[in-house]
Amino acid sequence: MDIKKEKILIKDMYCKSCEKIIEKVLRKLPGIINVVASYEEELVFVEYDKNVLTMVQIEDSIISAGYSIKNKNSSIEIKNLLGILSAGLIIIFLGKYSGYFNMDSMLNGKVGYLILFTVGLFTSLHCLGMCGGIMLSQTVTIKDSPKSTNFKPAIFYNLGRVISYTFLGGIIGALGSLFSLSIYTKAFITIFAGVFMIIMGFNMAGFYLFKKLSLKFQFISCKNKLKSSSPFIVGILNGFMPCGPLQTMQLYALGTGSFLGGATSMFFFSLGTLPLMLFFGALTGFLSKNYTKKILKLSGVLVLILGLIMTNRGLSLNGVNLSSFMLNTNSTVVLNENKDANFVKAELKNGYQEVTITALASGYFPNVVYVEKNIPVKLTILGDELTSCNNEVVIPTYNLQKKLISGETIFEFTPDGKDISFSCWMGMLNGIIKVTDDLNSIDQNNVDTTVPFTEGCCGEETTSNASSTESIYGSDLNSVSTEKLIKKTEITDDKQTAIIQGIQYEFYPLITVVQKDLNLFLTIDLQKFIAFADNISIYDLETQTRLYTSDITDSLISIDMTFNESKGYGILIDDSLISIIEVVDSLETSDLEAIRNIYLP
């Protein structure tokens, strides 16, 4: 007997189960004395009799099991990383700046279920690599049968998986209902799941930076007996496998705090894994292993991006948003250079700083709020367009979390000297409350409006059926509060400032109240205005003359003028009246309800 020991470097090991697969294949070879595979070190140690077995036979067996032999080359690893980062940047760029491929719209969905379905879809290649052999063992048991009946074992196997995933998700979710999860606990669960997805994405894409990190839930590990004659039973047992994506989703199910929430979350995740698994079950004879590996690497990039997004949402729930640090390159940002943020200053009334913002389907408006420290704040959120995403607001700093209603939802707190982040319950729609020493010192034309990056949300509405063509004020103006329809200018020193925003095909607010004989700096923001427009005018409603006319060449229009008469003026877009400027003798004593009755009786 001529015994030899060798270490063989292995490619395409995606999880700990790959160790068992390789060891099982090699132990069947005559002449093998000992074999130990290592997922972390990407190698297999073999001890064999050279008189009986050759290295070529050992390597061929490894390759036949679906793995590859590699040479140690660090430059390949670096190229893999650069490829992953490049692909990720391209996908994010397309998602953000292309109207034809919106990554955010693909990722966000009703109560997060579309996200979970997408995660299942992307990680189904991991399922294929880990469980494809198990499914194959069930789908090839029927011999000499019509092709139509050969597809049934794959259906029963995957049906068992879906039922198992759903039932386990419900049990794990019910465990969460036994105790109340704080905002920080939910944030930790989301961050943990996101980080794990990042690690898994790196590994799936072929960059094994984190291979030594592995999650295992001992209470769900079991040894599946592949000799079962029932594909359905094997599919049920499949739900107990210690699989990385499955464990990540079980953490999510735990955070739902209910049996129904956990079961539904896992159900949608399992649905996402079905298409590829069913396709593999039907076409196992035509699917190339090398082709599968290439798709797996691309899937890893997408899982990595999902992990980054999920981690950022967890950080948002914890009051931290990485994107705000990346965007905040200057301490002061001129308002008309910021494309995402609009701001409002609180007003002091009856010992409170009162401020009102609106929950729209696209986010919270305004999403930057200025308040003064050490004075109690009463933040009112108007639930005008509530969706399954924006219908709950979280303020982590004060551990505040409230469901929004169709009317007014009020948050009360006393700010210290630090800025306060707020977001929706999913961490997808963000805003910030900036705390200042002196609110009167804030210059509306030159303020810091840096706001954490908002991913957007396309969940279905829960209180209305708004669409892109429906009015931002709803179908009945009489039910809209005066505070939303009419806004006063902000007066500082010898000037007044105002912002009017074009949203879809309307202006917000409808009416702007202006002080007579005081210089007005008016900003009209048309970045979200979808109606085609050539020019804009300010029109004297009494004399029917134009005081100002300009072609629209930019999405941000700045107008500097003074009104010397107390009366109404119209803002025209291509000769169509779209908003009103009401000039008054005294801004402080002006009656907003009386002004509303003039134009909106």
pLDDT in tens, 277-301: 877 766 654 444 555 555 556 656 7
Task: Count other Cβ atoms within 10 Å, centred on residue 560.
Answer: 10
Q: What is the pLDDT of residue 131?
A: 57
Residue type, 125: L
More confident residue, 313 or 87: 313
**Phi, psi dihedral angles at 116 (to 5 degrees):** -65, -40
Is a pLDDT exceeding 50 seen at residue 462? no
Q: Output DSSP code: residue 442.
A: -
Lowest mean pLDDT among 6-15, 53-62, 553-562: 6-15
Question: Which residues, other chains included, contact 26 with Cβ-Cβ below 8 Å and sequence gap of 6+?
Answer: 32, 35, 44, 46, 58, 61, 62
Span 316-341, average pLDDT: 45
Confidence of residue 113 (pLDDT cuts 50, 70, 90): confident
Q: Find out whether 459 and 433 touch, Cβ atoms under 8 Å.
A: no
Q: In terms of CATH, what superfamily is 480-601?
A: Cupredoxins -  blue copper proteins (2.60.40.420)
More confident residue, 326 or 508: 508
Residue type, 329: T
* Angle of the 259-282 helix axis to the 244-256 helix axis, nearest 10: 150
pLDDT in tens, 144-170: 445 555 567 778 888 888 998 899 888
Asked whether the domain spanning 480-601 has the same topology as the one spanning 3-69, the reply is no
Is a pLDDT exceeding 60 seen at residue 102? no
Q: What is the pLDDT of residue 176?
A: 65
Q: What is the pLDDT of residue 465?
A: 38
Task: Count other Cβ atoms within 10 Å, centred on residue 425.
Answer: 22
What tokens were used for 237?
Answer: 């047992």
Range of 69-78, 243-252, 576-585 with top mean pLDDT: 576-585
% of the chain at pLDDT higher than 70: 64
Range of 178-182, 260-264, 385-389, 457-461 with top mean pLDDT: 260-264
Q: What is the pLDDT of residue 285?
A: 44
Lowest mean pLDDT among 163-167, 179-183, 204-208, 482-486: 179-183
DSSP codes joined into one string, 43-110: EEEEEEETTT--HHHHHHHHHHTT-EE----HHHHHHHHHHHHHHHHHHHHHHHH-SS--HHHHH--G
Q: What is the pLDDT of residue 179?
A: 55
Q: Find out whether 43 and 9 touch, Cβ atoms under 8 Å.
A: yes
pLDDT in tens, 395-432: 888 888 888 888 889 999 999 888 888 888 767 788 88
Residue type, 410: I
Q: Output DSSP code: residue 270.
A: H
Confidence of residue 584 (pLDDT cuts 50, 70, 90): very high
Q: What is the pLDDT of residue 247?
A: 62
Q: Find out whether 164 and 237 touch, Cβ atoms under 8 Å.
A: yes
Whether the link from the prior residue into 366 is cis, omega within 30° of 0, is yes
The CATH code belonging to domain 319-466 is 2.60.40.420
Confidence of residue 458 (pLDDT cuts 50, 70, 90): very low
As a whole number of angstroms, the distance between CA 190 and CA 132 comes to 29
Q: Which fold has domain 3-69?
A: Alpha-Beta Plaits (3.30.70)
Is a pLDDT exceeding 80 seen at residue 596? yes
Which alpha helices (H) appear in 486-540, and where do they start and end?
A: none
Is a pLDDT exceeding 60 seen at residue 530? yes
* Average pLDDT in the chain: 74
Q: What is the pLDDT of residue 486?
A: 92
Confidence of residue 213 (pLDDT cuts 50, 70, 90): low
Confidence of residue 324 (pLDDT cuts 50, 70, 90): very low
Question: What do you get for the CA distance between the two ends of the chain, in Å?
Answer: 103
Which alpha helices (H) appear in 178-219, and where do they start and end?
A: 183-205
Closest by CA to 169, choosing from 258, 274, 231, is 258
Lowest mean pLDDT among 175-179, 367-371, 535-539: 175-179
Q: What is the pLDDT of residue 287?
A: 47
* Residue boundaries of the structural domains of the chain: 3-69, 75-317, 319-466, 480-601
More confident residue, 251 or 523: 523
